[in-house]
Structures are given as C-alpha cells and as structure tokens.
Amino acid sequence: MKGFAFFVVIAGIFTGIFFSLRPWHEFNTQRLKREQAKAEMRKIEQARSELIERSSRLATPLGMEEEARRRGYLRQGETKIEL
C-alpha cells in the first residue's frame, strides 16, 4: 500500500509539473514581448523628444539662421570662404 501511495504522489507531482510548463512558457514569452515593446517605446519617445526640441529650435529666428547656414545658404552680400 505504501508503494502505491508513493507512486500516486510521484505521478501527481509529475503531472503538475507537466501541466504547469506551458503556462510558464507563455508567461516568459509575454514578458519578453513586453520588454521588447517597452524598449521600442523608449526609443520612440526619445526620437519624439528630439523632434520636439528641434522643432522648437527651428521656430526661433536664430534657429532658422543656423539651419540655413548648415545647409549652405548665405545672406545677401556674403561670400563663402573655404579653409
């Protein structure tokens, strides 16, 4: 009788482990997807922040002039000197 009870307990433990593997696998898969989505969201938020900062800078006269000069534009009467 002891051997049968021991077998039932061991079978129960293995059955529990077997049926709990899939939920743990799903949990880990979803956790990985969540972390990837968070990383992507952080990158998008960083890019958005940079665009807002750039847009704010370009909205000022000084920012517009800097951007125009970066693109090679000159004011009337200026000449370009290359070193």
Residue 37 included in any domain? yes
- For the stretch 44-81, what's the b/e string if a residue is b when 16 or more beta carbons lie within 10 angstroms of its beta carbon? eeeeeeeeeeeeeeeeeeeeeeeeeeeeeeeeeeeeee
CB 72 within 8 A of CB 78: no
Residue 80 included in any domain? no
Per-residue pLDDT band for 18 (boundaries 50, 70, 90) equals confident
pLDDT, tens only, 36-78: 999 999 999 999 999 999 999 999 999 999 999 899 888 888 8
Task: Give the structural domain span for 40.
Answer: 2-70
Instruction: Domain count for the chain, please give it.
Output: 1
What is the pLDDT, as a whole number, of residue 40? 98
CA 74 vs. chain centroid, Å, equals 40
On the question of pLDDT at 80 being above 90, the answer is no
Please give the structure tokens belonging to residue 77.
Answer: 């009467």
- Rg of the chain over all Cα atoms, to the nearest angstrom: 32
Per-residue pLDDT band for 14 (boundaries 50, 70, 90) equals confident
Q: Report helix, strand or coil for 77.
A: coil
Residue 42 included in any domain? yes
pTM, rounded to two decimals: 0.57
Residue 78 included in any domain? no
Residue 65 included in any domain? yes
